[in-house]
């Protein structure tokens, strides 16, 4: 039986060469490769600054910390995300305030954000934290004016959105990473580009960037890594507590090679999404994902939804059948308000966010990555369509 794993990273000779160079250089942790990765990533998205960190979770933590978010503050975000988004808010003693999603994009609903802020129910709203779900930018043309009106800073969770872009009012087409005050990327193994584990914060604000550079390595002053260098000094100052979130040169080296292929990866992902959409569009039991006209979708995930009224089986059984037939599938996302920790800590309950729950009950993510062959794509399509046909009502 043919097997298509849910994900396989696309790593080649360039990644190997870059990593070998680091291993043989005598300097394996944060150093020249990380610095070059920062410069090239900043240039790629068009941001003034980029700070490489150990993971997106740390990037989010540092971004909120740099804005001074603390106990009692409220951060508005979506429940339809990975736990890391809300976890980073909770690390600082702040409260994740969930707002339901748009039924089509599955992104934070700007109208509901506006409604909540207008209602006056929030005590100390400080930050708006949109997640660009599946690689499609949130409707920033509506979210930014709301944030400005209520004096909220904007931190974006762009874990799915390296390479994603949106047409932003007067600025024209801009890449995600240049929109809010701070943007956080993930280079986890399954993300659009990977460093195995890694993340990046981008910003146009030098003060915030410098604060994050220092905080990402124990609060040591800039270039503390040079202290082992012949030109460096053993002396450093610590003015504030920091974190241990630096990215090693071994990881950064992989990122440098991946970054060269980000646009090529992107085209292949878009092509697979298009092929899936053509194949599934005519099947009434399936709801295919769409891309808004004002975005360049990064297609990190291909999230298909089942129309339960047309099928004899539910999502869980459908996923199990695909797995048995060799197609690796996943489910994005399990809404955070359904998780015990967010219920116990913040009082969320099932039923709080009906659109997130509806999406969760019907969604599954199909394999979509550049290492897929045409045969893999065809096999996924045939298997999904056969599974639907076998189980129509
Ligand atoms: C993967 C992911 C993260 C966390 O990224 P790490 O680099 O693994 O810390 C955060 N938010 C979302 C939406 C993610 O999918």
Measured in Å, residue 56 CA sits from the centre of ligand 1 at 5
In the reported structure, the alpha carbon of residue 299 is separated from the centroid of ligand 1 by a whole-number distance in angstroms of 15
Is residue 38 in contact with ligand 1, taking CB distance under 6 Å? no
Same-domain check for residues 54 and 99:
yes
* SS3 of residue 58 by DSSP: helix
26 CA to middle of ligand 1, Å? 31
Residue 78 Cβ < 6 Å to ligand 1: no
Confidence of residue 234 (pLDDT cuts 50, 70, 90): confident
Within a domain: 2: no
315 in the same domain as 243: no
58 and 149 assigned to the same domain: yes
- The answer to whether residues 33 and 15 touch, using CB atoms and an 8 Å cutoff, is no
Q: What percent of the chain has pLDDT over 90?
A: 94
pLDDT at 225 over 70: no
41 lines ligand 1 (CB under 6 A): no
The enclosing domain of 336 has a CATH number of: 3.90.1150.10
Q: In terms of Cα–Cα distance, which of 135, 129, 35 is closest to 368?
A: 135
Residues 164, 128 share a domain = yes
- Structure confidence at residue 105 (pLDDT): 98
8 lies in a domain? no
237 occurs within a structural domain = yes
Cα 333 to ligand 1 centroid, rounded to whole Å: 12
Pocket test residue of 87, 98, 138, 186 for ligand 1, highest count of atoms within 8 A of CB: 186
At 227 the pLDDT is: 67
In a domain, 34, yes or no: yes
Residues 151, 77, single domain; the answer is yes
Catalytic residues: 191
- Residue 239 shares a structural domain with residue 277: no
Looking at the structure, tell me whether residues 219 and 368 fall in a common domain.
no
Q: Is the pLDDT higher at 91 or at 225?
A: 91
| pLDDT at residue 204, rounded to an integer | 98
Q: What is the pLDDT of residue 239?
A: 87
pLDDT band for position 232 (cuts 50, 70, 90): confident
pLDDT top residue among 367 and 226: 367
Mutate to test the pocket of ligand 1, among 7, 61, 85, 254 (most ligand atoms within 8 A of CB): 85
Last-in-domain residue among 232, 259, 286: 259
Do residues 138 and 76 make contact, with C-beta atoms less than 8 angstroms apart?
no
With a cut of 80, say whether residue 222 has pLDDT above it: no
Instruction: Answer yes or no: do 115 and 230 share one domain.
Output: yes
Which residue has the CA at smallest separation from atom 6 of ligand 1? 56
Tell whether 165 and 50 lie within a shared domain.
yes
Residue 334 lies in a domain: yes
Clarify whether residues 198 and 55 are in a common domain. yes
Residue 3 resides in a domain = no
To 10 degrees, the CA torsion angle through 267, 269, 272, 278?
-80
Query: 204 with 126, same domain?
Result: yes
pLDDT band at 221 (very low <50, low <70, confident <90, very high): confident
Q: How many domains does the chain have?
A: 2
Is the Cβ atom of 157 under 6 angstroms away from ligand 1?
A: yes
Confidence check: pLDDT of 229 > 80: no
Choosing from 215, 235, 259, the residue where a domain stops is 259
| Residue 226 pLDDT | 67
In which domain, by residue range, is 289 found?
Answer: 262-390
Tell me which H or E stretch contains 129: strand 125-129
Verify that 253 and 276 share a domain, yes or no. Answer: no
Name the strands in the sheet holding 363-366, side by side, starting at the edge strand that comes first in the sequence.
286-287, 302-306, 363-366
Taking only the tens place, the pLDDT of each residue in 324-369 is 999 999 999 999 999 999 999 999 999 999 999 999 999 999 999 9
Calculate the CA 322 to chain-centre distance.
26
């Amino acid at each position: 039986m043919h097997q298509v794993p849910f994900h396989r990273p696309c790593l080649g000779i360039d990644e190997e060469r870059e990593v070998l160079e680091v291993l043989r250089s005598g300097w394996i942790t944060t150093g020249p490769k990380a610095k070059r990765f920062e410069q090239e990533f900043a240039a790629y998205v068009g941001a003034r600054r980029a700070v490489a960190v150990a993971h997106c979770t740390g990037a989010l933590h540092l971004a909120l910390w740099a804005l001074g978010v603390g106990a009692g503050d409220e951060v508005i975000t979506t429940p339809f995300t990975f736990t890391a988004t809300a976890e980073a808010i909770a690390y600082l003693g702040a409260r994740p305030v969930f707002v339901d999603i748009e039924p089509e994009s599955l992104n934070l609903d700007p109208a509901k954000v506006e409604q909540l802020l207008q209602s006056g129910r929030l005590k100390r709203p400080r930050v708006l934290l949109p997640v660009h779900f599946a690689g499609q930018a949130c409707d920033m043309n509506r979210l930014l004016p709301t944030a400005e009106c209520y004096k909220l800073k904007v931190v974006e969770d762009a874990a799915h959105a390296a390479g994603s872009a949106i047409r932003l009012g007067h600025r024209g087409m801009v890449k995600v990473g240049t929109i809010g005050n701070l943007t956080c990327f993930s280079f986890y193994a399954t993300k659009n580009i990977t460093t195995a584990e890694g993340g990046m914060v981008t910003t146009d604000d030098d003060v915030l960037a410098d604060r994050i550079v220092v905080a990402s390595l124990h609060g040591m002053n800039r270039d503390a890594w040079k202290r082992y260098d012949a030109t460096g000094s053993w002396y450093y100052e610590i003015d504030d507590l920091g974190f241990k979130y630096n990215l090693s040169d071994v990881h950064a080296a992989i990122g440098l090679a991946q970054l060269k292929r980000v646009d090529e990866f992107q085209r292949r992902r878009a092509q697979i999404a298009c092929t899936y959409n053509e194949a599934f569009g005519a099947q009434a039991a399936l709801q295919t994902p769409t891309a808004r006209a004002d975005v360049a979708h990064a297609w990190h995930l291909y999230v298909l939804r089942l129309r339960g009224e047309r099928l004899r089986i539910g999502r869980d059984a459908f996923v199990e059948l695909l797995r048995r037939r060799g197609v690796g599938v996943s489910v994005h996302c399990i809404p955070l308000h359904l998780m015990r920790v967010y219920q116990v800590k913040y009082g969320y309950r099932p039923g709080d966010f009906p659109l997130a729950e509806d999406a969760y009950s019907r969604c599954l993510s199909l394999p979509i990555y550049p290492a897929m062959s045409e045969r893999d794509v065809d096999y996924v399509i045939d298997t999904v369509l056969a599974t639907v046909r076998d189980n129509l009502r």
